[in-house]
Amino acid sequence: MGIECLVLGAGQEVGKSCVVVSMGGKRIMFDCGMHMGYLDNRRFPDFSLISKTGDFDAALTCVVITHFHLDHVGALPYFTEVCGYHGPIYMTYPTKALAPLMLEDYRKVMVDRRGEEEQFTYDHIMECMKKVTPLDLKQTVQVDKDLEIRAYYAGHVLGAAMIYAKVGESTIVYTGDYNMTPDRHLGAAHIDRLQLDLLITESTYATTIRDSKYAREREFLRAVHKCVAGGGKVLIPTFALGRAQELCILLDDYWERMNLKVPIYFSAGLTIQANMYYKMLIGWTSQKIKDTSSVRNTFDFKHVCPFDRSLINASGPCVLFATPGMISGGFSLEVFKQWAPSELNLVTLPGYCVAGTIGHKLMSGKPTKIDLDKDTYVDVRCQIHQLSFSPHTDAKGIMDLVEYLSPKHVILVHGERPKMALLKERIQSELGIQCYYPANNEKLLISTTQNVKIDVTKKFIRNCSSAMLRNVKNSSLSISDSSSKYTEIIKLAREDTTAEGILLMEKTKTAKLIHENELLRTLGVKEHQVRFAFCCPVEVTRMEHLSNEANTTHCHENSFRKVDVPRCLATEDRLTTANKTLLHILLSELETRTECKNIQIASESLQLHTFHVCVCSDEHCSHRKKENGVGESVVYFCCSWSPCDDRLARELLQIMGRLTLSC
Amino acid sequence: MERALLERLQRRLSPGAADARGRIQALCSARSLIANPDSTESTRRSVVDALVASVRHHQDDPAFVHHALKLLGDAAVLCRPFAHSVVAAVRPFLDGGHSLTADAVASLASVVEADNGGGGEGFSLVASALDGDRILSLASSPIVAVRSQVLDLLVRSVERGRFWDSFGHHTTIQVFLGLAMDLYPLVRKRACDGIIALLREAAGGVDRLIVECCYDRAVVLLKDEEKLVRLTAVKLISECGELFAASQGETEHSEQMDVVFVQLCLMARDMCMEVRFEAFVALGKVRLVHETVLLQSLSKKILGIKSGKAIVECSTKGTKISLLSAAGAFVHGIEDEFYEVREAACRSLGMLTIFSVKFAYEATNLLMDMLNDDTEVVRLQTLQTLSHMANYDRLTMQDKHMQMCCLCHQLMVKIEDSCKILQYISGLHSIQTLEFSSHYVICEILQFLGLLADISASIRCLARKLLQLVKLPDFISFRDTIDCLISNLEAFPEEEEDIFFVLFSVGKRHKNFSAKLAKEFAKEIDLSCGELILDSHEVAAKLVLFISSSFSSGQRTTDIPMALYSYAVPFSGRIARALSGAVDQDSLLAYLCSHSKKIHKICTSSMPIHIAISDITRKGNVLDFSEILTCSEQTQEKCVFLNEETMQSIKLNLETVRKTWPLMKSHCTQVVQNMLRACKEELETIAWNADDGDASSFLDFAALYIQVIQLVTEILDKSLPKKSCIIGMTALDIILERLDMSLRRLRYGFSGLQRDEECHILELMLLSYVFRLLEIGVSRKPILARLTSTISRLEFLCEGPSNLSVFAKEVKHACTEGTATLFSNTYVFHKLLELFYPEQITFTGRFKQKKAEVLVIGNDSENPLTFVLGLPVGIFFRITLYEILNSDRLWLLLAVGESIQYVFLDLSQFEGCDAVRSCTLNVPFHGTPKAASFLLRASVGIECPSEDVTNHSKGQGWPVDDYAIICKENDVHFISVNNR
């Protein structure tokens, strides 16, 4: 069994993210984006690769959208309404709220302004959104019996999520776009430590390592302030959602602090609507904004007001946020035409501009003239500032995430091919994780490790935890405990915990792991124990005479009688006492000779681990070595022991053989 | 009651009792008997005995035994003497792997807990019940409750500093290490806690091998799934690290510590906030780390690729870890989403700077950015860190810090925060001696916060105050600072004095720099061919700076071009004022002149210069600025003197006013008006020069007085018979009203008026009433009442009717005659006027002005308050009262158009003493008009108690008597919600 990964978009490129993952008989489509750089059919992912017949409902289990950017959600209405997918769609609450805004805005720009043939209508968008099931963070959703998905906070934009999916034993995470460092309004990505087979991660900045954000903020503010102080106008072309809000927070705070009165404008429409959503979805923002929201909603900007078209040529300095971000058309282009010819003015460009847009032309060297079409051109004399705010994580962040999750395989998407190759090398060499970066429409098969499910008994689990200490206990008892007093502790710390058990494979049943103590009961067999025994003669020099006869007659019964039983005959008592004295004498002798303090004295025997010694009164004890010429001064000690203590026992017996007790 | 309870309890718990429910219930009463503080010792003892006995007999009832054991444990906590019985009762349950064992161990734990601070008897009792083997067997019990309870018992006793003496901490460590790998996360965590406590208690007495074992175990636990365990593991690592470092002695660096550091850096990227926080706290405690590793933690980029040390790997004891994992830990730390983490990172950063100069240098960059953090705690921590670095001489100045423009570094520091920060630094500064490095701190902070351009005046002021203390390192920063101050002056010309003073101090401190700047400036002047515009802030500021440098002690500086002194002469007044009396204008002028050699041409001042010059000569021709600053007494004397001088000139003016009376009566109105106007102007001039104190009260008084006289003149002018027509003098009632108001202010707005002064004012009031009676259609009765009361007051003051002035006598006579019609007779009127000849009154000026300042918080014409039509609206006022007595009744007047809402000001709400008291009030305004917007005028009035005491009734919604306005009127702007 393996995981099959079909990359329909964002393979070795940035744009139209779409990855279809099949595992355990389930097929999940992650993201359904469109490519902003193409106007032909390359704009959408090639859905025919999913199903030749076009029966997408059967081919896909579900679609999951990570966030509302068009390169992640742009093709969704087309896919559901035009291609006819009717299965479940999942996205987070903010994405569900904001995605229609983005889609509708795009549709308008495409159809109304450029006069293109429309790919989907407003009704399509609305219909599509109706099918969406909203997700909450860390909420596990059971899509069907086998497939469960869960969303984790990804930073990046409001409502962006990383998606964890699990089918049977196979687990994957699709990150979508994410940011590992917090910004002014969003927190850093946050995910649990998961056991993963596969991680599909974006790699927009596969080789860049960014510095602290503070310096970038400072640069930006300095540029803006300088321009405004000089009486110039600042044009900030942005996308309506995301970066615009961050820059707004930044500027609003700065304005407040510096007591600046220069107006900050927001081009009306989409952005204002978006701000409203941001205000409502405060729970998805960073900790700081959440904390202060009870006092003041950060998105209630004090200095920001809506823009009126008539203000374009008004005199005096101002700051204007206008869409779209890359000055590819629309309002920002209109304003750019008016403001670009003045040296006083400033245009800030977003971090990334698609080739072909004015933004891109401005970024690649400072042109003095920009042709709009063959008849019109714009004199560009204004200053250009390039923003380096990016909601994507940098190479360090990607490495950190991969290291943190430590999946078995990594697939890179949403990046540029040469950079991805470098990152792949790093991941493989530094982290030792298999890494791939398939191109579009490429299919990748990842083998997963086969896991066998077995049952375990409760007792086994319980014993796993205490097994280690038991080991210590066993080994710590040696004859001489004075030597190397730390060895067992060190052993304890260094050795891996291993739990021992017995695997039972019963017919027609799943395999079962049981504790060794349970084995006999489970199998219904009696336990056999092997013990060695030896009746060891020890010489005794008696100070006080004791009747041997009496000793022999009663000893047998006595040996099983407990000491603390109150009822006791005088002779028995005397005999027991005699035996006990003998044992005590033996104990003290042994202790002095072996320096071992671990010998314990029980009622009628000495014990050292499994080695037992008791006074033997049976003349015909089977363990006795027939020896002639044994005098009366010999007392027999019957010893028995388990094979595991054989060495110990033999040592002790040797010592005992050489002993002469005096009593 | 107690006895009855006890008996029932004993009955229920007796071995023969079979009622299981009864036993459980008996436990309840047992608990209350034990817990009740009034229970006698013998009762408690009996209860415990009964419990112990019943536990022994009912071992087969686990539910009961469970509760009973718990209760016994609690009893042991409450009464230490029971420990013995409790341990004995518990003992049988310690064997065997059932859940009651856990309860038994828990009871023992309570005994140990109760022994805290005791003689250790309880502990030894417990120890006797639990020997090493038993503990091991309990710790390896398959029941998790037993394991965790044993662990708890061990951890507690270790934390209390008690080891299991019978087998030493050897076995304890075994148990801890073993249980640190338990299946249950809380057991793992607790075991870690135990190890930490043990390492701490042993205080270095632990074998290094053991520490390494603990460390290895902790490293494994760093990857734990449970955050609590990771958290404790980080603490444990830190603890081990400290022990490693301690055992290393004074060696420069240890490879082992590098590994510890990197491990902690890794944890600084954990997904859990608490873990990150703990990791940064731990990072601060690490020592003996190699500089490369330290530096790596400040940079996300891999360092040292060129030098070939890119991959430093450390493989002690088989654990391989790349030191590169430390990359950028602190960069992430200071960017963290949670301020707790940022703060911890900042603190640790400071602690680590001690070990490496290079690290400190790099860290400063990060710390500078953190001054712009949006949380106050972090910014304060940053300042603390910086000062910590300065203390260890680790703070080095970097040009790029200095050159950063003031404007762009105040992203987030809010006003109140900056205030705190500045106060903090000032505090810091007063404690520390002015060390060279701490100058840098302040300098940088000022530069970075750009506080000079701050919106709040108090911050600007504080910032400048700090600037005075700073020693600037080089000429560039000096020039930047001066430029900053100049732009400050341009932006806030009203703060000229303060800025001049700072410039003066800065110039004095940096003699050579200012001399250099002076030369540059002199060149500019030469180039400008004398067309220098003196009337610019820049020139003024620079001149102040240049002349200041020559004020320094020691030899007279000759570096400053002479010409500059002469340019400075016109500023002498402003400069003298800025130096706040430290040097008076005349001496300064003389000093400047003596330097400029152009003394004869310029000195056209009427002031006696020779005196000033001789003064300077006495001081050795050099005004030592520091000397001036230190001898504050001298300054005070000068202030007093200055005050006297002002008073004198005011008195002179009032004398002139007095001289106008004869002229007035001879109807030379025009002349009188001119004279009065001149007086008024002169008073204004005086006011400009005077500072606060008695003089200012007197000045206000004088101004008011002159206004009264002006009004009187005007009225007289209008009532002249030659004009013959009094009818239709619409303006008259207005003037009368103004006169009335001014007189009321004179009388009630000043405390400490002398008898003569008050009499004079009362007579003027009489006069104004007489004028009133002239009005046509005026109701005479109230005026007459007032006349009578005023006269009676006069009589009281003059100690008898006989001492009244002629004018007052005549008025009294007219009143008592009852012939009110008398007054309408112009003849009588003029006769009265003739009689009115003020006494040769001289004002002492020793009185205090009752004043109020009203500030509407958060409102101006640009930011109007919103209101809903017809609904009351709350307005926040900040009211400051000066010299108001407790007996005074004050009203806040809220006027919209003609209607006025009176709000009584309860003085008990105000804080402060009689001299100054202030309070912030939220006052509801009820009469919102039906308009889109309106203007409300707020002022404070003092009630003028009528002389007629019988007529006093309080508690109405408006002042009973007249009132005098004692503050400037404030406008409050309102806008309807609908129009916003």
Residue range A451-509, pLDDT digits in tens:
777 888 877 877 776 655 655 554 444 333 433 456 666 666 556 666 778 888 877 77
Is B536 in the same domain as B456? no
- Confidence at residue B897, expressed as pLDDT on a 0 to 100 scale: 80
Start-to-end CA distance of chain A, whole Å, equals 77
Calculate the CA A647 to chain-centre distance: 50
Show which of B192, B223, B249 is a domain's final residue. Answer: B249
Give the distance from residue A649's alpha carbon to the nearest chain B alpha carbon, in angstroms: 22
Give CA–CA dist A423/B220, Å, rounded. 28
Specify the 3-state DSSP secondary structure of B583. coil
Q: Are residues B535 and B465 in the same domain?
A: no
Task: Let me know whether B179 and B93 are in one domain.
Answer: yes
**Residues of chain B contacting residue A191, judged by C-beta atoms under 8 Å apart:** 271
Give the three-state DSSP class for A64.
strand
Q: Band the pLDDT of B547: cuts 50, 70, 90.
A: confident
CB contact residues (below 8 A), chain A span 186-205, against chain B: 187-188, 190-193
Higher per-residue confidence, A438 vs A577: A438
- Cα gap A519→B582, rounded to integer Å: 101
Worst-scoring range by mean pLDDT, A46-55, A326-335, A403-412, A537-546? A537-546
Residue B431 confidence (pLDDT): 39
Question: pTM higher than 0.80 for the full model?
Answer: no
Q: What is the pLDDT of residues B744-776, one digit of tens each?
A: 888 888 877 777 888 888 888 888 888 777 766
Q: At A367, give phi and psi (nearest 5°).
A: -80, 155
Residue B605's pLDDT is 39
* Domains contained in chain B, number: 5
In this complex, is the C-beta atom of A494 within 8 Å of any C-beta atom belonging to chain B?
yes
Q: Hey, is the C-beta of B207 within 8 angstroms of any chain A C-beta? A: yes
Interface test with A, best of B271, B335, B448 (most A CBs within 10 A): B271
Whether chain B has a CB inside 8 Å of the CB on A229: the answer is yes
Tell me if A258 and B407 make a contact (CB, 8 A cut-off). Answer: yes
Question: Closest Cα partner for A464 from B179, B355, B55, B482?
Answer: B179
The type of residue at A57 is D
Long-range interactions of B358-362: CB distance < 8 A, separation 24+: B358/B291, B358/B295, B359/B291, B359/B294, B359/B295, B359/B298, B360/B389, B360/B394, B360/B395, B360/B396, B361/B396, B361/B398, B362/B295, B362/B298, B362/B299
Asked if B366 reaches chain A (Cβ–Cβ under 8 Å), the answer is yes
Strand A140-142 and strand A147-153: pairing?
antiparallel
Checking if the pLDDT of A425 tops 80, the result is yes
Q: In which domain, by residue range, is B940 found?
A: 850-979
pLDDT of residue B262 exceeding 50: yes
Q: Please report the residues numbered 122 through 141 in chain B whose beta carbons come closer than 8 angstroms to any beta carbon of chain A.
A: 133, 136-137, 139-141
Token digits of residue B25? 């219930």
A651 is catalytic: no
pLDDT (0 to 100) of residue A612? 84
Q: Where are the beta strands (DSSP E) in A383-469?
A: 383-386, 409-413, 434-436, 442-447, 455-456
A369-371 and A346-349 beta bridge pairing: unpaired
CB within 8 Å: A400 and B181 = no
Q: What are phi and psi of A567, to 5 degrees?
A: -70, 125
Measured CA to CA, the distance from residue B272 to residue B279 in angstroms comes to: 11
pLDDT digits (tens, 9 = 90+) for A34-66: 887 777 888 889 998 998 888 899 999 999 999
Q: Do the Cβ atoms of B335 and A489 come within 8 Å? A: no
Sole residue written with tokens 């500027």: A251
Compute the nearest-CA separation of A229 from chain B (Å). Answer: 10
Q: What is the pLDDT of residue A495?
A: 60
A280: its two tokens? 């409502």
**Residue B76 is encoded by which pair of tokens?**
């042991």
Q: Which amino acid is at A521?
A: R
State which H helix or E strand residue B882 sits in: strand B873-882
Instruction: List Cβ neighbours of A335 (8 Å cut-off, separation of 6 or more).
Output: A235, A312, A320, A322
Which residues of A fall within a CB distance of 8 Å from B210? 486, 489
The CA-based dihedral angle spanning residues B339, B343, B349, B351, taken in that order and rounded to the nearest 10 degrees = -160
Contact between B569 and B602 (Cβ < 8 Å): yes
Q: Are B626 and B603 in contact (CB under 8 A)?
A: no
Euclidean distance between CA atoms A118 and A115, whole angstroms:
8
Cα angle A422-A425-A428, degrees, rounded to a multiple of 5: 150
Cβ-Cβ contacts under 8 Å for A220 (sequence gap 6 or more): A247, A250, A348, A385, A387, A389
Which range, of A659-663, B3-7, B377-381, B726-730, averages the lowest pLDDT?
A: B726-730
Residue of B207, B370, B407 with shortest CB distance to A486: B207
Residues B863 and B794 in one domain: no
- Residue B772 and residue B915 in one domain: no
CB A249 within 8 A of CB A297: no
Beta bridge partners of B335: none
Contact assignment for A464 to B213 by CB distance below 8 Å: no
Q: How long, in residues, is chain B?
A: 980
Domain boundary at B835, B866, B886, which? Answer: B835
Residues B399 and A452: their CA atoms lie apart, in Å, by 65
Average pLDDT, chain B: 74
Average pLDDT value over all residues in chain A: 81
Q: State yes or no: pLDDT of A136 exceeds 90.
A: yes
Q: Is B135 inside any structural domain?
A: yes
Distance CA A453, CA B508 (A): 85
Question: Region A581-607: what's the mean pLDDT?
Answer: 78
Q: Is the pLDDT of residue B843 over 50?
A: yes
**How far away is chain B from the Cα of A407, in angstroms, using its nearest Cα?**
14
Chain A nearest-CA residue for B134: A473
Q: Would you say residue B548 lies in a domain?
A: yes
User: Could you tell me how far CA B885 lies from the centroid of its own chain?
Assistant: 29
The residues near B907 (Cβ < 8 Å, ≥ 6 apart) are B881, B884, B886, B888, B890, B917
* Structure tokens given for B187: 């057991």
Q: Can you name the residues that pair with B256 across neighbouring β-strands?
A: none
Q: Please state which of the ranges A573-582, B607-616, B971-980 shows the lowest mean pLDDT.
A: B607-616
Q: What is the CATH number of the domain that holds B905?
A: 2.60.40.150
pLDDT given at position A305: 82
- DSSP per position, B405-457: -GGG--SS--HHHHHHHHHHHHHHHHHS---HHHHHHHHHHHHHHTGGG-S-H
Using alpha carbons, select from B699, B694, B701, B687 the residue that is nearest to residue B639. B694
Identified catalytic residue from A13, A81, A202, A518: A202
pLDDT for B341 equals 93
Please determine, for the modelled complex, whether the ipTM score is greater than 0.90. Answer: no
Among B420, B447, B473, residue at a domain's last position:
B473
> Token pair 């500078």 is at which residue?
B368
Report which of residues A448 and A269 the model is more confident about: A448
Give the one of B139, B184, B455 whose C-beta lies nearest to A259's C-beta. Answer: B455
Confidence tier at B400 by pLDDT (50, 70, 90): very low
**Do B102 and B158 share a domain, yes or no?**
yes
CA–CA gap between residue B145 and residue B139 (Å, rounded): 10
Give the DSSP H/E element, type plus range, for residue A662: strand A660-662
User: Which residue is it, tokens 């990748």?
Assistant: A444
The answer to whether residue B61 is domain-embedded is yes
DSSP A409-420: EEEEESS-HHHH
B232 and B102 in a single domain? The answer is: yes
Q: Count of alpha carbons within 13 Å of B10, Cβ hemisphere only?
A: 13
B271 to chain A: nearest residue by CA? A190
Considering the domain architecture, whether residues B955 and B898 belong to the same structural domain is answered as yes
Instruction: Judge whether B700 lies within some domain.
Output: yes
Q: Cβ–Cβ of B147/A485 closer than 8 Å?
A: no
Which pLDDT band, with edges at 50, 70 and 90, does B712 fall under?
Answer: confident
Residue B334 lies in a domain: no
CA distance B857 to B807: 49
Q: Which CATH number covers residue B118?
A: 1.25.10.10
Cα–Cα distance between B550 and B560 in angstroms, integer?
8
The pLDDT, as a whole number, for residue B625 is 40
Per-residue confidence band for B881, with pLDDT thresholds at 50, 70 and 90:
confident
With CB atoms and an 8 Å threshold, state whether A489 touches B170: yes
Mark whether B16 and B78 lie in a shared domain: yes
**A181 touching chain B per CB within 8 A:** yes
Q: Is the pLDDT confidence value at B944 over 70?
A: yes
Which residue(s) pair with B972 in the sheet? Answer: B936
Number of neighbouring beta carbons within 10 Å of residue B652? 12
> What region, left, alpha or beta, does residue B554 occupy, with left being phi > 0 and alpha being psi -120 to 50 degrees?
left
Amino acid code (one letter) for B514: S
**Beta carbons of A469 and B179 less than 8 Å apart:** yes
Residue B447 lies in a domain: yes
B740 and B859 within one domain: no
A493 in contact with chain B, both atoms CB, cutoff 8 A: yes
Identify which of A400, A473, A489 has the shortest CB distance to residue B269. A400
User: Using the beta-carbon criterion (under 8 Å), do A466 and B139 form an inter-chain contact?
Assistant: yes
The answer to the question of residue B177 being in a domain is: yes
Q: In sequence order, what are the residues at sequence separation of 6 or more whose Cβ sits closer than 8 angstroms to the Cβ of residue B88?
A: B52
Nearest to A448 by CA among A21, A20, A18, A16: A21
Restricting to B residues 322-351, those with a Cβ less than 8 Å away from any Cβ of A are 322, 327-328, 331-332, 334-339
Residues 223-252 of B with CB under 8 A from A: 223, 225
**Residue B407 is nearest to which of A181, A225, A461, comparing CB atoms?**
A225
User: Based on the domain organization, do B620 and B660 belong to the same domain?
Assistant: no
**Maximum Cα interatomic distance, chain B, rounded to a whole number of Å:** 128
DSSP class per residue in A483-522: S-TTHHHHHHHHSPP----EEE--TTS--EEE-HHHHHHH
Q: Looking at chain A, which residue has its C-alpha nearest residue B451?
A: A258
Q: Which range has the worst mean pLDDT, A143-152, B707-716, B768-777?
A: B768-777
Contact residues, chain B, for A285 at CB < 8 Å: none
Per the model's pLDDT, the better-predicted residue between B873 and A463 turns out to be B873
Closest CA to B834 of B711, B657, B665: B665
Alpha-carbon gap, residue B776 to B725, rounded angstroms: 12
Q: Report CA A507 to chain centroid distance, whole Å.
A: 38
Q: Copy the structure tokens of residue A629.
A: 């010429």
CB-defined contacts A:B, below 8 A: 145
Looking at per-residue pLDDT, the higher value among B180 and A556 belongs to B180
Minimum Cα–Cα distance from B327: chain A residue: A396
Contacts of A187 in chain B (CB under 8 A): 337
Q: Do B136 and A394 touch (CB under 8 A)?
A: no
Q: How many CA atoms lie within 13 A of B927 on its CB side?
A: 14
| B828 and B880 together in one domain | no
The Cα B150–Cα B140 span in angstroms is 10
Most distant pair of Cα atoms in chain A: their distance: 135
A209: chain B residues, CB-CB within 8 Å: 300-301
For residue A305, what are the β-bridge partners?
A: A265
The answer, for A482 touching chain B at a CB cutoff of 8 Å, is no
User: Is B321 domain-assigned?
Assistant: no
Contacts of B372 in chain A (CB under 8 A): 214, 217-218
In the block, which residue shows the tokens 């044994």? A630
A624: DSSP letter: B
Tokens of B85: 């019985």
In angstroms, the CA B452 to CA B456 distance is: 9
Q: Which of A396-405, B319-328, B709-718 is the most confident on average?
A: A396-405
